[in-house]
């Protein structure tokens, strides 16, 4: 019985480790579809301060990723200055990056500050957006920027 428990625990560790390694190799928080931000509009985050699902008819491919928008005007705004609208840290959880880890995000958990938007993990155990808001924004940015220099290449 003890060996079967050890085997089970090792299998879980290997499974989680494999998933983390595969995810760490991506510089952008996407799945196999290559749809950025899970289909949410980057213009809605930054210009309107809200999370809105984009529509397929307003799609732009930029740097190999598909971005969706809610209108032709949003699409044009992005096309005019795409770098302005890219999520911080490749769309990974900003708090996670500040502590040296890549986490998928809940697209409805975000903060807009200083002309940028930051996305966050949310699950029953951790509300990373609240952790970020409770911390010192400038210090968290410094830590996240330093970590992202390494994590973005993994």
pLDDT in tens, 61-91: 999 999 999 999 999 999 999 999 999 999 9
Kindly provide the b/e burial profile for residues 103-138, where b requires at least 16 CB atoms within 10 angstroms of the residue's own CB: bbbbbebbbeeeebbbbbbbeeeebbbebbeeeeee
Cβ(53)–Cβ(39) below 8 Å: yes
pLDDT range class, residue 14, cuts 50, 70, 90? very low
Residue 102 has pLDDT above 90, yes or no: yes
Cβ(112)–Cβ(46) below 8 Å: yes
H or E element in which residue 111 lies = strand 106-113
Q: How many angstroms separate the CA atoms of 68 and 99, rounded?
A: 30
Nearby residues of 84 by Cβ (< 8 Å), 6 or more positions away = 46, 115
**Mean pLDDT, to the nearest integer, of 116-128?**
92
Q: Shortest CA distance to 86 belongs to which of 121, 110, 62? A: 62
Threshold 0.85, pTM exceeds: no
């Amino acid at each position: 019985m003890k060996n079967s428990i050890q085997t089970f625990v090792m299998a879980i560790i290997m499974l989680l480790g494999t998933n983390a390694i595969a995810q760490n190799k991506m510089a952008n928080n996407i799945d196999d579809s290559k749809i950025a931000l899970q289909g949410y509009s980057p213009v809605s985050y930054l210009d309107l301060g809200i999370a809105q699902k984009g529509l397929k008819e307003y799609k732009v491919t930029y740097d190999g990723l598909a971005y969706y928008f809610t209108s032709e005007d949003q699409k044009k705004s992005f096309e005019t200055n795409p770098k302005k609208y890219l999520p911080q840290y490749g769309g990974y959880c900003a708090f996670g990056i500040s502590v040296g880890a890549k986490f998928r995000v809940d697209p409805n958990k975000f903060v807009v500050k200083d002309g940028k938007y930051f996305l966050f993990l949310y699950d029953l155990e951790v509300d990373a957006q609240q952790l970020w808001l409770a911390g010192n924004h400038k210090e968290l940015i410094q830590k996240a920027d330093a970590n992202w220099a390494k994590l973005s290449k993994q």
